[in-house]
Amino acid sequence: MFDFSKVVDRHGTWCTQWDYVADRFGTADLLPFTISDMDFATAPCILEALNKRLAHGVLGYSRWKNDEFLGAVAHWLAQRHNTRIDTGSLVYGPSVIYMVSQLIRQWSAAGDGVVLHTPAYDAFYKAIDGNQRRAIPVALEQRDGDWHCDMDKLEAALARPESKILLLCSPHNPTGKVWTRAELDTMAALCERHGVRVISDEIHMDMVWSEQAHIPWSNVARGNWALFTSASKSFNIPALTGAWGLIEDADSRDAYLNALKGRDGLSSPAVLALTAHIAAYEQGAAWLDALREYLRENLRYIADSLNHAFPELNWQIPQATYLAWIDLRALNIDDKALQNALIQQEKVAIMPGDTYGDEGRGFVRLNAGCPRSKLEKGVNGLINAIRSVR
Ligand SMILES: Cc1ncc(COP(=O)(O)O)c(C=O)c1O
């Protein structure tokens, strides 16, 4: 019904992935597997809704607190995540990272600590550093092909007097880890014990491949917390802007909304983002399920190809996200030499693992959100580059 193998030329659309690849990689015209957006057109139901809204022609100021938007979000959480919410706790923002950054300011002071699992999404470090807070890393550990958080180490970090916030990434970018209920319960109890507030970034919630379901933080929460997410990753609409979340504590929610509307002058949402979210959450399930199947096959393709070329890698597809977090340490190759071969020789852009912190050394992150024909070129490029530097 939906053809994800169709190649759409994104050149010349001011897209970060293709048109601005030189900004990160120093060279233009690379085949990019970088930041997390996909090369697919969004769902037809979203395009239809956007076209209809554009045909109306008037694009004046708007409001997100309307029954259609609130109802669509509640519907999605109920249908896809088995979660009922009080829509009175919903908040809106221009992007997930804007919302994270604002709550960091609201819930901590300059010099305070924000605990996070590392490796971590690079924008987390920027939001923490940019607000003059201190990142307090707790390294995830890889055992038996799975990622684990040592809860004693997490508790030690949360117990530090300067720790005010746990910035959770659930599911986790870049490892793809899906947190279990037991892990979430333990983290909730530890945060409560040490008076640490939780911000849970759940933007990858719809892209889970493991049997184990994603559990929204609202289902395990205690104390003071926020959950932020968006349809932007799942439906590939991040440049429309638009994100939403739950802040349960009324004072925190009011402070958030007052800053958004007053200090930051963002009282009107992007109306096309609202339109897209409503269409996605009310009508987009079939498209998303087809996309998920395609992406899962893409990840399997990466596993088959890499493990065939380098059996010692034994790379397994992640539990979640369309981002392949590939541990190359068994091959003992130099990260810089590999990047050089990828860029200069193979003409592909694949994220070096240390973008996500020191724990990412020896890894690469390859975005599999693209037609298979492109992915094949990227994986071949990676295999050739590895061979040339070994
Ligand atoms: C964990 C995580 N949070 C947030 C974002 C970005 O979201 P936004 O553009 O809404 O800030 C990304 C994008 O890669 C992400 O991986």
Instruction: Look at residue 70 and tell me whether its pLDDT is greater than 90.
Output: yes
pLDDT cut 90: percent of the chain above it: 98
Ligand 1 pocket at CB < 6 A: 36, 95-97, 121, 169, 173, 201, 203, 230, 232, 238, 243
Confidence check: pLDDT of 144 > 90: no
Taking alpha carbons only, the member of 124, 133, 121, 101 closest to residue 266 is 101
Instruction: Tell me the residue ranges of DSSP E strands in the chain.
Output: 31-33, 90-93, 113-118, 134-139, 141-143, 146-148, 163-169, 197-201, 225-229, 243-247, 323-327, 348-352, 363-367
Whether the pLDDT of residue 258 is over 90: the answer is: yes
How far apart are the CA of 278 and the centre of ligand 1, in A? 20
Structure tokens at 343: 């860029």
Q: Which atom of ligand 1 is nearest to the CA of 242?
A: 10
Q: Residue 73: pLDDT above 90? A: yes
Q: What would the mean pLDDT of 25-34 be, rounded to a whole number? A: 97
| Residue 27 pLDDT greater than 90, yes or no | yes
Query: For 95-119, what is each residue's pLDDT tens digit?
Result: 999 999 999 999 999 999 999 999 9
pLDDT reported for residue 294 = 98
How many other CB atoms are found less than 10 A from the CB of residue 295? 21
How many other CB atoms are there within 10 angstroms of residue 308's CB atom?
10
Phi, psi of 113 (to 5 degrees): -105, 145
Residue 40 amino acid letter: F
| H-type alpha helices, 133-210 | 151-159, 181-193
pLDDT grade for 165, boundaries at 50, 70 and 90: very high
Distance (Å, whole) CA 302 – CA 298: 6
Q: For a ligand 1 pocket test, name from 92, 124, 173, 227 the mutation site with the most ligand atoms within 8 angstroms of its C-beta.
A: 173
Residue 351: pLDDT over 90: yes
Ligand 1 atom closest to Cα of residue 230? 10
Residue 19 has pLDDT above 90, yes or no: yes
ω into residue 311 within 30 of 0, thus cis?
no
Residue 327: HSE in the Cβ half-sphere, 13 Å Cα cutoff? 20
Query: Which residue, judged by its Cα, is nearest atom 2 of ligand 1?
Result: 203
Average the pLDDT over 166-193 and give the result: 98
Which residue out of 104, 203, 205 has the highest number of ligand 1 atoms within 8 Å of its CB and is therefore the one to mutate? 203
Six-digit token pair at 199? 């911000």
Q: Work out which ligand 1 atom sits closest to the CA atom of 323.
A: 16
pLDDT band at residue 182, thresholds of 50, 70 and 90?
very high
Query: Across the strands, what pairs with 114?
Result: 135, 165
> What percentage of residues in the chain have a pLDDT greater than 70?
100
Q: What is the pLDDT of residues 212-255, one digit of tens each?
A: 999 999 999 998 999 999 999 999 999 999 999 999 999 999 99
The secondary element (H helix, E strand) that includes residue 247 is strand 243-247
145 confidence band (pLDDT: 50, 70, 90): confident
Residue showing tokens 């399997």: 300
Distance from Cα 97 to the centre of ligand 1, integer Å: 6
HSE value, Cβ hemisphere, 13 Å, CA-based, for 375: 29
Residue type, 381: G
